[in-house]
Amino acid sequence: MAEKRYMLNVKIDNRWVPIPAIKGQKGDKGERGETGQRGETGQRGERGERGERGERGERGQQGLQGLQGVQGVQGERGLNGKSAYEVARDNGFTGSLTEWLQSLKGQKGDRGDKGQQGDRGLQGQQGQQGRQGIQGVAGVNGKSAYEIAKETGFTGSKEQWIASLKGQKGDDTGYNKAYVDSQYNNLNASLTTVSNKLNNLFSEPYWETFPIGWGQELKACKIGRFIFWFTVYVGNRGSGTMGEKIPEAFRPIFETPLLIHQVNYNRVDGDGVFKFYPNGTIFYAGATGNSEYHGSGVYIAKTSNL
């Protein structure tokens, strides 16, 4: 603020004569005056320019979860999709449905390692007696002893052959009748026992039905060491080592293949083989899938029931 100077006017001879102001020393600061009254509010000034954008603030806390909305209206039912066979046709397959099903069968896999023999299970309860089988065809009459003698070099007549069977007269030295009778009775008893067993086997053969994997069963009849078996199964079956075991009485004397046929609408579509092992293991390879499986045959058992 510029310094103010004041002029002193003195009236001399009826006229005012200015006299230059004389600046004195700066006086002491005066006391503060009383606060004046508040002035009237001034007019609103013009709007200032927009300021620069401030920095982004920190992310606020997540709000509370809202209420669940009302369930929407059920949509319309979709169209039925195509079958796998129809999709195959669309992608270039030209064969029939049966040919397409056969094309799904993969190549035969490698044979798996033979599993360890499991512990022998508890003997099951004896099954119900099966129905009597159909009587077999009468066998061909065997050759007589005389015919066999002729084939082995005898050249005489039947009467001469019979005469040749008579030995020379021995010395009459006597014999132990009690010993001979005892031997005869023992031999007769043994023959009677064997005859009864044979009659029982042929009148009421020993049948048993046991599982061989994938729901398939095998029905078997045991006569001595011979096992006559057959199986008819309709359903799905796979290959590999089965979890089931052959019953002890029906286990083979050595590794034995059992051939079966896969039948589809009265025609054979493929073959399969069950391998029966002496330890009771069952292995299957060959035709698989949902179909019919037929087979029958004979094999030799480790043990005899005679």
**Contact criterion met (CB below 8 Å) for 247 and 208:** yes
Measured between alpha carbons, how far is residue 137 from residues 46, 63, 140, 295, 297 in Å?
129, 93, 9, 21, 16
The answer, yes or no, to whether residue 247 has pLDDT greater than 90, is yes
The helix/strand/coil state of 160 is helix
Q: What is the mean pLDDT of residues 245-268?
A: 89
Weakest-pLDDT range from 148-157, 167-176, 296-305:
167-176
Q: Bridge partners of 251?
A: none
Tell me the C-alpha distance between 182 and 170, whole Å: 23
What confidence score (pLDDT) does residue 78 get? 74
- DSSP structural state of residue 57: P
User: Between 250 and 38, whose confidence is greater?
Assistant: 250
Task: Assign 133 a pLDDT band (cuts: 50, 70, 90).
Answer: low
Q: What is the mean pLDDT of residues 80-99?
A: 84
The answer, yes or no, to whether residue 107 has pLDDT greater than 70, is yes
pLDDT in tens, 23-80: 667 777 878 878 777 777 778 878 878 878 878 878 878 878 878 878 878 878 877 7
- DSSP structural state of residue 138: P
Q: What is the mean pLDDT of residues 185-197?
A: 77
What confidence score (pLDDT) does residue 43 get? 80
**Contact criterion met (CB below 8 Å) for 306 and 265:** no
First to last CA, the chain: 146
Can you give the C-alpha Rg of the chain in angstroms? 60
Task: Assign 302 a pLDDT band (cuts: 50, 70, 90).
Answer: very high
Q: What is the mean pLDDT of residues 194-205?
A: 66
Q: What is the average pLDDT score of the chain?
A: 80
Burial class (CB in 10 A: 0-12, 13-18, 19+), 174: exposed
Q: How many Cα atoms occupy the beta-carbon half-sphere of 152 within 13 Å?
A: 8
The answer, yes or no, to whether residue 297 has pLDDT greater than 90, is yes
Q: What is the mean pLDDT of residues 113-127?
A: 72
User: Between 182 and 243, whose confidence is greater?
Assistant: 243
The answer, yes or no, to whether residue 193 has pLDDT greater than 60, is yes
Is the overall model pTM greater than 0.85, yes or no? no
Task: Assign 242 a pLDDT band (cuts: 50, 70, 90).
Answer: very high
Burial class (CB in 10 A: 0-12, 13-18, 19+), 114: exposed
Alpha carbon 190 to its chain's center:
54
User: Between 301 and 38, whose confidence is greater?
Assistant: 301
